[in-house]
Amino acid sequence: MGSLPIAVSGSTVNGGGCRWWGWCNKNNSSGKTGSNGSGSSDSCANSSAFVFFLVSFVCLASIAGLYCRVLLPPNVHTTLSSLGCNEDNEGSWSIGVYYGDSPFNLKPIEEANVWRNKTAAWPVANPVVTCASASGASFPSNFVADPFLYVQGDILYLFFEAKNSITMQGDIGVARSTDKGATWEQLGVALDEDWHLSYPYVFDYNGNIYMMPEGSAKGDLRLYRAVKFPTEWKLEKVIMKKPLVDSFIIQHDGKYWLFGSDHSGIGAKKNGQLEIWYSSSPLGPWKPHKKNPIYNTDKSKGARNGGRPFLYDGHLHRAGQDCGETYGRRLRLFKIEALTPTEYKEVEVPLGLKESMKGRNAWNGARSHQLDVQQLSSGEWVAVMDGDRVPSGDVNRRFILGCASILGVVMLVIVFGMLLGAVKGLVPLSWCPHNVGKRSDASFDWERSSLLSNRMRLFCSRLNRASSSLRARIKPKTCSGGLVLAVIFIVTVVLVCTGVKYIYGGSGAEEAYPLNGQYSQFTLLTMTYDARLWNLKMYVKHYSRCSSVREIVVVWNKGQPPELSELYSAVPVRIRVEEQNSLNNRFKVDPLIKTRAVLELDDDIMMPCDDVERGFKVWREHPERIVGFYPRLADGNPLKYRAENHARKHNGYNMILTGAAFMDSKMAFEKYWSNEAAAGRAVVDKLFNCEDVLLNYLYANASSSSTVEYVKPAWAIDTSKFSGVAISRNTQTHYGLRSSCLQKFSEMYGSISSRKSEFHHRNDGWDV
């Protein structure tokens, strides 16, 4: 037999250029290379292809690394605890507390303005119980959900599902609060079985405390009695041989009613089914409602229970889960108008809770599926509700999308290599079924008659001809061909970053950093005027989505202020119009500010929310200091104002620019507007500059210890460069004025040249 050219990347077989894949030689049963030189040609081609793929890998890996370092927010959730808080496909649920004068007027705890000095929470903000809370009490948990309250006088007990990080099943945890839910003491695991537990419905009956958790994996519904409340429970009775989920028992019109969902039946619609049973006792026996199933409908209709029912204004109300978009997407509330053994009627009523507009940056931005609201002896209503920042199945979805992106990268790299001529084929012909070394005549006869072998040979041939065909059609050396290469490269880079983001970037949320297990909030304050409205709109839209921002205050110094409707914001915005255009207005005492922390941030600075959140955590650790993102070192004789590189050259700083800095609103503003600072404020008005320098001097003058802390931002952009409204355009003049301020303020308040904080002095690694 002669040599049969199955797939040729060029028109010559001798000597010429390197080919990636050569000939399938049927005669070469010994495996030796023929005299046409295809062996050396294949080796050369393999080498060039290997080099191309190696260079491509290094380049794309470098791009991915740079993207991770600069643009990808850290996965805060997995750093909350060394024991738990692992990523879980069921979500990252946590629990918040709400107050109100009725169940229909509930507000999150941060709006109650509850302050706790011990945890540096001014005010306390939701969530108040997290996976870190449970994991810190030595029962590692990926998330906490399904909260139920039990009230004993002034003490609140919270029972909840804790997804065990080791067994990957739900256990029932319990916590206690003596301050109406602002802080919680974790008491441990209340109930642990060999199967998954959740939805720990707790209630009183005949002087005993009972818990009816969901344990549908066991195939029945069980009732437990407290032996030593709240941590020891004993099985009282299996009250129903049905795997009911999310069940509760209520007393109404002389009977006990059990509401639950059975998804195991034929034709039952998951998350869209509801059954009702009744009895003369919570211990049974139970009789089915005449209209069972009450619902077997679309999962978005709220059929599945979403917490404890409550009585208000003479009517029972039931919370149900809307699982339409994802499991537990939102709560729907129903007023029960008829409940008898033969009739059931309910109508939907508004719950009155606003959904967060912060998306994944909010702890409950994606879904919330359980509510327990109860009235305290004071008449006030308190509620607990769970929330999640990601939809159900988010981990798997991100992994699939990430793998698909990486697969797209591989395909585009191959195409790119083919166009450059580095890759001259797609399939090594040694993989062809007819090129497997020494075979018998019978195997050749089988190949001739084998339809599969012929098709594989044809498929290999066509794939390997694609390289030359593609190059001939696109012509990479032309302008249009170069444009195609550029587009392929850009798309490849985008897919690399997308793949890395989905696989390694966590949920993509820029979460807040808790301190001592508790979250808080701050007020964002910026000063601007009419010519910078474009900056302000972008500024408000971006920063209002940061997790810990409570309110944005705009100090309007000049011109006609905008309407609030012109600003897209996820938090309330307040525009404070000033009578005089003065930089001193930045630090004016404002009694309407409700948080202790204020972030003074110029409207032309854009940085990631994660950097803002890191700065806020550092400030909570050092509330007596100015904590910011732009360090300066004032030294020399005479004192001279210089850029950040001077501070880095001398490994230290003694000022933080307050155009991007956290501070104690009461302490800082009162210092600035004290009689002692009057002369300094006059200098600021005269030069229209140096208000931040003055505040640094006032802080340093009031303390013998360090008064500044630096946090390095991942990146920051000055948007005034794009709008042409930068305040300090002439750098040399600007620095000259500031040097003059340093000298004048040193005469007034004493020098700060000897006050120096070093970089790298904190353990968090954020001051490098």
Rounded to whole angstroms, what are the CA distances from 181 to 155, 365, 548, 573, 592? 9, 21, 19, 28, 25
Q: What is the CA radius of gyration of the chain?
A: 34
Copy the structure tokens of residue 443: 């195997």
In this structure, what are the phi and psi dihedrals at residue 96, rounded to the nearest 5 degrees?
A: -120, 165
Largest separation between any pair of C-alpha atoms in the chain: 106
* Nearby residues of 588 by Cβ (< 8 Å), 6 or more positions away: 555, 578, 669, 673
In this structure, what are the phi and psi dihedrals at residue 22, rounded to the nearest 5 degrees?
A: -105, -125
Considering the candidates 262, 386, 388, 692, report the single residue annotated as catalytic: 692
| Catalytic status, residue 692 | yes
- Coil vs helix vs strand at 586: helix
Q: Do the bridges between strand 295-296 and strand 141-152 make them parallel or antiparallel, or are there none, so unpaired? A: unpaired
Shortest CA distance to 52 belongs to which of 94, 9, 84, 20? 20
128 vs 662: CA distance, rounded Å? 23
Sign of CA dihedral 452, 455, 457, 463: negative
318 vs 334: CA distance, rounded Å? 5
Copy the structure tokens of residue 358: 């912060």
H or E element in which residue 708 lies: strand 708-710
Alpha helix positions (H), 554-643: 609-621
* Nearby residues of 264 by Cβ (< 8 Å), 6 or more positions away: 216, 242, 243
Tokens 């004068």, located at residue: 101
In this structure, what are the phi and psi dihedrals at residue 155, rounded to the nearest 5 degrees?
A: -105, 135
CB-based contact 521:593 (threshold 8 Å):
no
Copy the structure tokens of residue 447: 């190949």
CB-based contact 286:341 (threshold 8 Å):
no
Copy the structure tokens of residue 321: 């889960």
Tokens 């992106």, located at residue: 405
* Nearby residues of 698 by Cβ (< 8 Å), 6 or more positions away: 671, 672, 674, 676, 677, 680, 749
The residue type at 747: E
Catalytic residues: 692
